[in-house]
Chain A
Amino acid sequence: MAQLKCPICGGQVSVEDDALPGELVEHECGAQLEVFKKNETLSLRLAEEVGEDWGE
């Protein structure tokens, strides 16, 4: 597991070593984060807000 920094609260976030860029994770602080690659290393940024689908 890779230990990354939550960009919102600064806490540690455990992300699987084989996580794919674009993968979304939820930190215990409640932030929803997106995995991305920066200089070939995994990093986290705030994900888009959960969308609303007004279908069934």
Chain B
Amino acid sequence: MSQWLPPRRESLLQRLNSLLRDLVSLYTPSGEERKAKEIFSRLSKETGMPLFETETGSFILGGGKVLLASHLDTVPGFIEVRGGDGWLEGRGAVDAKGPLTAMIVAGAMAWAEGKKVTVAALADEENKSAGARELIRSGAKFDHVIIGEPTGTSGIAIEYRGLIHLDIRCQSRAEHSSSSKSNLIAEMCERILKIYSAPDSYLGPTITPTIFRAGEYINVSPSSAYTHLDIRYGRGMDEGEIIKKVKETFTSCEVEVKDHVPPVAVSPNEPAVKAIMRGLLVNNIKPRLIRKTGTSDMNILAQLTRSIVTYGPGDSTMEHTESEKITLEELYIAASTYKYAVDVLCRS
């Protein structure tokens, strides 16, 4: 355990590099997080932090009222792990095994000093956030929560948009295509174009069709069509109004809400935000407050406490791309910032 007491810069960099390489080498798209059991068992033995594996495949280390939470799953598509002088590339290096690595190392250092901290490697964030939802259902209580997602190392995310997933199914009468008077595909396209809203403003709503299926045979006008809408909206927008507008556009169709996560926004005055801010300042980095257009586990875990913030190393424009690359310097800054924040929050 004592080996985790705050080490010198060089050995901390080595530790971050080695753990990130281990995690990124293991391909863990959503649903395959359990493959990391051996790594977490080893970490538990090395750090003395108790380990708990959950039903969804999340791994929880330690225990305490300060939670460092990132996610273990990645989007699909393995990227060969490559490393060079001070950098590492591979699936999840940015989203979010880089932030997760920095959190584990920071948490282990704090634990070695007797601080009560919980580090969660959550499952399924890239899918339906089953790990975060399970944590809420478990009744666990935390005073302060820091979410590990890439924010460019100096960014502090205090706001995320909400999301609505809608399934829309429309029916028509199948007819011979040479003489049919109506066409469901053409009608659906017209309605989709009417509702489509490109991502050009934060508040939105951004309404994006992501799936479209229709048609049964080459010379039959289709009898059924299906589309899926991915809707993102900012704080202050009325989700009921958004859904009503969709229903009015797709009259006589079945509109089903498959998922709904409300937006989240917290004040920069919240202790968790302030602790990360100060952690950056003592590392001589000027913090930037940001609001993110997507949705993350912060939207869900905000049910636990208002003292919540998202921060992490890595360039967010690399998320979900074929080039997820992160520098050890970014990991070092993030680990130092998390550690500072845990020290402060454990005292509060």
Report the nearest A residue to B152, measured CB to CB. Answer: A53
Does chain B have a CB within 8 A of A4?
A: no
**Given known contacts A23-B278, A26-B267, A32-B289, A56 and B202 CB-to-CB distance under 8 angstroms:** no
In the complex, which residues 232-276 of chain B have their Cβ closer than 8 Å to any Cβ of chain A? 267-269, 274
Interface readout for B273-304 with A: 1 if CB under 8 Å, 0 if not? Answer: 01001100110001111111111100000000
In the complex, which residues 11-56 of chain A have their Cβ closer than 8 Å to any Cβ of chain B? 20-26, 32, 47-48, 50-56
**Given known contacts A20-B282, A22-B281, A26-B269, A52 and B287 CB-to-CB distance under 8 angstroms:** no
Consensus secondary structure, chain A interface: loop
Interface contacts (Cβ under 8 Å), in number, total: 68
Closest Cβ–Cβ distance, residue A12 to chain B (whole Å): 14
Closest Cβ–Cβ distance, residue B339 to chain A (whole Å): 17
B165 partner residues in chain A, CB cutoff 8 A: none
- B95/A24 in contact, CB under 8 A: no
- B293/A54 in contact, CB under 8 A: yes
- A23/B277 in contact, CB under 8 A: yes
Does chain A have a CB within 8 A of B151?
A: yes
Report the nearest B residue to A32, measured CB to CB. Answer: B268
- A48/B287 in contact, CB under 8 A: no
A23 partner residues in chain B, CB cutoff 8 A: 274, 277-278, 281
In the complex, which residues 300-335 of chain B have their Cβ closer than 8 Å to any Cβ of chain A? 316-317, 319-320
- B202/A53 in contact, CB under 8 A: no
- In the complex, A20→B278 CA distance in Å? 7
Checking A21, A25, A48, A56 against B288 with a beta-carbon cut-off of 8 angstroms, the contacting residue is A48
B199 partner residues in chain A, CB cutoff 8 A: 54
- A51/B281 in contact, CB under 8 A: no
- B287/A53 in contact, CB under 8 A: no
Closest Cβ–Cβ distance, residue A16 to chain B (whole Å): 9
**Given known contacts A20-B278, A22-B281, A52 and B268 CB-to-CB distance under 8 angstroms:** no
- B292/A50 in contact, CB under 8 A: no
Closest Cβ–Cβ distance, residue A50 to chain B (whole Å): 5
Does chain A have a CB within 8 A of B33?
A: no
B149 partner residues in chain A, CB cutoff 8 A: 56
Report the nearest A residue to B266, measured CB to CB. Answer: A26
- A53/B268 in contact, CB under 8 A: no
- B155/A53 in contact, CB under 8 A: yes
Does chain A have a CB within 8 A of B146?
A: no
- A24/B150 in contact, CB under 8 A: no
- In the complex, A47→B288 CA distance in Å? 10
Report the nearest B residue to A16, measured CB to CB. Answer: B274
- In the complex, A26→B159 CA distance in Å? 14
- In the complex, A26→B273 CA distance in Å? 11
- B157/A53 in contact, CB under 8 A: yes
- B268/A25 in contact, CB under 8 A: yes
Report the nearest A residue to B273, measured CB to CB. Answer: A24
- A53/B281 in contact, CB under 8 A: no
Closest Cβ–Cβ distance, residue B267 to chain A (whole Å): 5
Those 7 A-B pairs whose CB atoms lie nearest each other, nearest first:
A55-B316, A56-B294, A20-B281, A51-B290, A53-B290, A50-B289, A53-B292
| 8 A-B pairs (CB sep. < 8 Å) | A22-B287, A23-B277, A24-B268, A53-B316, A54-B293, A55-B150, A55-B294, A56-B292
Interface contacts beyond A22-B286, A55-B292: sample of 18 additional A-B pairs, CB < 8 Å, sorted by A:
A20-B282, A21-B281, A22-B287, A23-B277, A25-B269, A47-B289, A52-B202, A52-B290, A52-B293, A53-B291, A53-B292, A53-B316, A54-B292, A54-B293, A55-B150, A55-B319, A56-B292, A56-B320
